[in-house]
Structure 1
Amino acid sequence: MSTQQFVGGNERFLRRYEYEDSWVVAADLDSFGDEVDVDIVGTTAIVVTETGDRVTETEFELPGEDASVTTNNGVLTITVQK
């Protein structure tokens, strides 16, 4: 397994794990806002967040197209099969 951490210019924190059969991208939802909506278009993840009356959209590239999205205990997890 290998791990990469990213903090963008807007201070959003992502961590990417690489396993033999998949990549996992994880993000702390607390840094994204109160309401979170995630769309996967091809290899792009689009995360739309809402905090009060402020809506923010963040996009990042995924390492593949076969992706599934889950949230659990305040963590957004996107799993991409190799």
Structure 2
Amino acid sequence: MTQRHSLGRQERFVRRYDYDDRTVLAADLPAGDVSVDVVDGTAIVVTDRDSGVEEFEFDLPGPAATVDTHNGVLTIGVDK
């Protein structure tokens, strides 16, 4: 299942992959410093780059077990 989340004029695509024991959400991020917080089942992502600070958020299907960013891709694992 692919979900589209809008933030102002920007759109972020969050892909969801369901496995037997976990769900993985993946989102492409712009280049720059990235900070991710998970609060009450919502992922809050803040990117800081030359053009300014940008924030977007999306709902998780449960409490996050893992959060990782690598090469501009954010992945969040949620155990079932």
Q: Same fold (TM over 0.5)?
A: yes
Equivalent residue, structure 1, for 2:72? 74
Q: Corresponding residue for 1:37? A: 35
Paired position in structure 1 for 2:24 = 24
- Is 1:12 matched up with 2:9? no
Q: CA deviation at 1:74?
A: 2.4
Of Structure 1 and Structure 2, the greater strand share is in 2
| TM-aligned CA deviation for residue 35 of structure 1 | 1.3
What runs of 5+ residues in structure 2 fail to find an aligned partner?
A: none
The TM-score normalised by the length of structure 2 is: 0.83
Shift of 1:70: 1.0
Structure 1 residue ranges without an equivalent (≥5) = none
Q: Deviations over 1:52-81 (max 9, x none)?
A: 151111111100014210122321100000
Q: Secondary structure at the match of 1:63?
A: coil
Moved over 3 A (4+): none
Indicate the percent of aligned positions where both proteins have the same amino acid: 53
C-alpha distance in 2 between matches for 1:24 and 1:38:
15
Please say if residues 47 and 57 of structure 1, whose CA atoms lie closer than 8 Å, have aligned partners that are also in contact.
yes
RMSD (Å) for aligned C-alpha atoms: 1.5
